Amino acid sequence: MFKNSLAKGILSAVIMGTVLTSVPLYGNGLHNSKIVYAATKKVATCTVDKLKVRTDSGTEFAQLSSDGTMVYLLLNDKADVLGEKKDKSGVVWYKVRFLSNGKSVTGFVRSDFVKVSSENASTPSDNGKTNTRKTAGKTKKSSSIKETSKYSYKGEVKTKGLRLRTGVGTDKPQYKIGTAGVVLPNGQVLNITGEKNDAKKIRWYKISTKVNGKTVKGYVLSEFVKLSVDKKAPAYAKVTAKKGAVIKTKATAKGNEFKDSKGKKVVLAKNDIVSIFHEITLSDVKYYKVSFVISGKTYTGYLVASQVKLIGIVKDTPKADDTDNTGDNNDGSDDNSDDNANNDDNDDGNSGGVINNNNGKFVTQRAYITSDKVELYNEADYKADILKESETGIPYKLNMNQEVIARKQYIVGNEKWYLITYIVNDSTGKQVIGAGFVPEKYIKLSGEPVDDSTGSSNKKKISDKAFEKELAAEGFPEDYKPFLRVLHRVHPYWHFEARHLGLDWEYAVSRESVVGLNLLQNSSNYAWKSMEAKAYDWANDAFIAYDGSTWVTASNKAVRYYMDPRNFLNEDYIYQFELLTYKPEHHTEEGISAILGGPPMKDTTYDYIASDGTNKTISYAETFLLAGVYSGVSPYHLASRVKQEVAGAGRFSSSVTGTVPGYEGYYNFYNIGAYNNTAPGGAVASGLKFAANGSASKAVIGNKSFNDYIKIPWNNRYSAILGGAAFIGNNYILRGQNTPYLEKFNFTEKNTFSHQYMSAVFSPSSESMITKRAYAELKDEPLVFSIPVFQNMPPVISERPVDIPSPNNWLSSLQVTGYQLTPAFRPDTTEGYGLVVGKDVDVIEVTGKTANKKAVVNGFGQMKLTPGGVNVISISVTAEDGSVRTYKINVAKEG
């Protein structure tokens, strides 16, 4: 994930080639105390994006100006060094001269933001070989870096339970309190004080921590502990690999080698010292992200954790390195004041400033919270709702110095807001990854970019071994696993969660088979339709409609088939189990754009008037992302649903053109309230009427009425997309019905077996096919599927109903010509009918009609009566499927 972060570097001095250059090191409070150069003329090259030039040596002096314009050195700009001078804190400043707007200017710059070289010095050559750094400690060790074997770094347990042992190795006894062995839970904070390999060369951490108020010490496997390091609290390590440590630009096994300015691979030499500010494990390999120095310039990259060993550092840190006490933070200092972000445009060293790319677009970067108990909003607006736990209603709160990812910047009125992603533990201790908005005053940007897609390691392929562990941990039944393995092979980024419903299978089937609850078209075969009482009229061979004139009750077999998840664990139908809640670590603008496909929404922007009265331009992809934050609903699902509803055939339907007569300027992207009717304008008009007037609901969401919460009226595209998403989320998804399957079959604890979004029993599977087509351009995204698991499921997967002939063997009418049956005929009654004829009557004529035209009758026509006694006339009806039903009439002669 992204819980730990980039940091300032430390670091070891670097010697490249055959020329020794003593360079200043300013990172995390470490620096060299003396600078020596061989040549007489020196040139300073700016190493940061924007560096202030001051009138004298110190931040208390004014910035130099020329013709009324403030003077800066920009990245890679050069200046002649005329001398050097220390400020009152001991920081070295260079007096420099250079051309600014065509005029020669002279001023002072801090030495730690420029690289000084001799004008006539030749560049060291590596003779075309791999650039392997020699260790500064072997030649001239910096007086300000002293290694020590004593250290204590924070770490966190990253598994469900981690045994604490008294020694190194799984063969060593478990640490015990009384008679109970100590098992450290997930999230337990540890103090790491050493590390050691066991006989199998597996690394263990020596740790101390508290268990039930008692301090315990011992050893734990390092692979299950993550260092709690960040920019402000890095760990330090020394290269121990005999052939050095290969530096990568990404945490990968192959390729992505870090290269110097000459294009040569960089390998840190044995005993080189680095600072660790981030840790990540991919494919069971632990990587550290580290800071190191090449030719006086600090770089960052990844190395395999086993290539280094943790060490401690004794620091000798002059005050000059850390803080510019003027509070304007324009000379590379790291000011932690809350209002620091107001000076973003003047940050010389990009320390805590906003990064923008070459197009002026805000770049995703790590950031830190600057106050305690900071609440998050679902929009960049103080009137927006506070983000809360869905179950308890407790607000999420961030704490001082907590690391977050700043993904977007928004200007609302005169204030900046940031859309951030964050990690918190909810009231139950469960880790939650979320997204929300915070105002500028509560956040400090690090200036260190991260992957713009999510700011997390969401694009992680799941190995077969890890996948099997996930299946077991989730508790999937064995008969689910073969299907999931097939899906995993094709989609190694997908995640599968088991939703243990706690419902007995047969009980759930019986409740979902209630007449009128699950429907399908009357055109379906008899096998698919219920013939229970009130579902089917046997006498008239008619199925009773429960929606319109054509939707009838599904049979028990049909319900079983569509309810059984095992029937749909394949590429066509898996999407009915897609988790529809917003997952900021998985849902990206790039993914949304892929779902939107071509026209009319992909790579398309629109204008609207924001709540602060300003004109805004925004893309549809970004709008759906913000709708996900606002509503808590998956923006992939929202984009897919809108594409299905109003953007077919590459153009918008009239529901979202804003031009429908009588409803000009209104939009309904989800067709909410758009029902078929015979009123003028039909479904489109009814949907736009909802867009204008909203719901009659008196519910209050947060501190808003329901219509305010769903942003009624929908008189611009932005409000319509966010408000419609909130309607869908509040009514279903945030209630726990968070997959298309659960929207149809409500097996949640709230209103179980009712409050179902759609009545068609096949809706989840049919929508899955539509979603699959909508996702056609979505490549290798880590979708999450929540698959239901019932108790006592049958070992045999529920079969798809097989078409059958009609079983209707009823008569709809029965008569004896010239006589009245007693009692009157009822189609559901087969016996007890009687009549009396004259004593001279020898023949009667029996007539009637079958309920189903394909049924065959034996017993109609002229029937002879025997003299004396009672004659029993039997009329047998054979249904199309061969089943037989017999009606009987007792005929007696007078006398």
pLDDT per residue as tens digits for the range 237-278? 999 998 899 898 887 777 788 887 777 888 898 988 999 988
Assess whether pLDDT exceeds 50 at residue 30.
Answer: no
What is the identity of the amino acid at 143? S
pLDDT number for residue 10: 29
Assess whether pLDDT exceeds 50 at residue 686.
Answer: yes
Q: pLDDT band for position 60 (50/70/90)?
A: confident
Question: Is the alpha carbon torsion for 197, 203, 204, 205 positive or negative?
Answer: positive
3-class SS of residue 211: strand
Average pLDDT over residues 740-766: 91
The larger pLDDT score, comparing residue 297 to residue 772, is at 772
Tokens for 339?
A: 């209002």
pLDDT number for residue 438: 97
Query: What is d(CA 43, CA 21) in angstroms, rounded to the nearest whole number?
Result: 14
The H or E element containing residue 687 is: helix 682-693
The larger pLDDT score, comparing residue 65 to residue 323, is at 65
pLDDT number for residue 152: 92
Most confident of 79-88, 113-122, 390-399, 813-822: 813-822
What is the identity of the amino acid at 81? V
What is the identity of the amino acid at 841? V
Cβ atoms 846, 815 nearer than 8 A: yes
Query: What is d(CA 146, CA 758) in angstroms, rounded to the nearest whole number?
Result: 69
For residue 646, report the phi and psi dihedrals to the nearest 5 degrees.
-135, 5
Average pLDDT over residues 669-681: 80
Average pLDDT over residues 545-551: 88
Is the CATH number 2.30.30 carried by domain 356-428+441-449? yes
**pLDDT-wise least confident of 14-28, 160-174, 710-724, 736-750:** 14-28
What is the identity of the amino acid at 605? T
Average pLDDT over residues 361-371: 87
Average pLDDT over residues 851-868: 94
Q: pLDDT band for position 678 (50/70/90)?
A: low
- Summarised one tens digit per residue, pLDDT across range 478-498 is 999 999 999 999 999 999 999
Tokens for 132?
A: 């392997």
pLDDT number for residue 459: 62
pLDDT number for residue 633: 94
Strand-strand pairing, 273-282 and 266-268? unpaired
Assess whether pLDDT exceeds 60 at residue 39.
Answer: no
Q: pLDDT band for position 828 (50/70/90)?
A: very high
The larger pLDDT score, comparing residue 894 to residue 19, is at 894
Residue with the two structure tokens 């189990």 = 577
Express as a percent the part of the chain with pLDDT over 70: 85
Mean pLDDT for the chain overall? 83
Alpha carbons within 13 angstroms on the beta-carbon side of residue 223 total 8
Assess whether pLDDT exceeds 60 at residue 515.
Answer: yes
**Residue of 30, 542, 516 whose CA lies nearest to 318:** 30
Express as a percent the part of the chain with pLDDT over 90: 52
pLDDT number for residue 345: 33
Q: Give the CATH fold of the 811-893 domain.
A: Immunoglobulin-like (2.60.40)
CA distances 10 to 241, 273, 298, 448, Å, are 20, 8, 8, 16
Where, residue-wise, is CATH 2.60.40 in the chain? 811-893
Assess whether pLDDT exceeds 60 at residue 338.
Answer: no
Q: pLDDT band for position 101 (50/70/90)?
A: confident
pLDDT number for residue 323: 30
pLDDT number for residue 701: 85
pLDDT number for residue 340: 32
- Global pTM reads 0.56
Average pLDDT over residues 627-647: 91
The larger pLDDT score, comparing residue 29 to residue 282, is at 282
pLDDT number for residue 315: 58
The larger pLDDT score, comparing residue 816 to residue 315, is at 816
Assess whether pLDDT exceeds 90 at residue 163.
Answer: yes
Tokens for 694?
A: 């909203």
**pLDDT-wise least confident of 8-12, 372-376, 658-662, 759-763:** 8-12
Strand-strand pairing, 884-893 and 833-837? parallel
Cβ within 8 Å of residue 408, ≥6 positions away: 362, 364, 418, 419, 622
Assess whether pLDDT exceeds 50 at residue 558.
Answer: yes
pLDDT number for residue 36: 30
Assess whether pLDDT exceeds 60 at residue 32.
Answer: no
Helix extents (H) in 43-135: none
pLDDT number for residue 364: 86
The H or E element containing residue 198 is: none
Query: What is d(CA 109, CA 84) in angstroms, rounded to the nearest whole number?
Result: 9
- Summarised one tens digit per residue, pLDDT across range 519-543 is 999 999 999 999 999 999 999 999 9
Q: pLDDT band for position 868 (50/70/90)?
A: confident
What is the identity of the amino acid at 241? A
Tokens for 276?
A: 């660790």
Strand extents, DSSP E, 308-430 = 308-315, 365-369, 374-375, 397-398, 403-412, 415-425
| CA 547 and chain centroid, separation | 37
- Summarised one tens digit per residue, pLDDT across range 82-91 is 999 988 877 8
pLDDT number for residue 883: 97
Where, residue-wise, is CATH 2.30.30 in the chain? 356-428+441-449
Helix 505-512 and helix 556-563, axial crossing angle in degrees, nearest 10: 120
Residue 679 DSSP class = S
Query: What is d(CA 551, CA 759) in angstroms, rounded to the nearest whole number?
Result: 9
Tokens for 463?
A: 């190995």
The larger pLDDT score, comparing residue 149 to residue 561, is at 561
pLDDT number for residue 418: 96
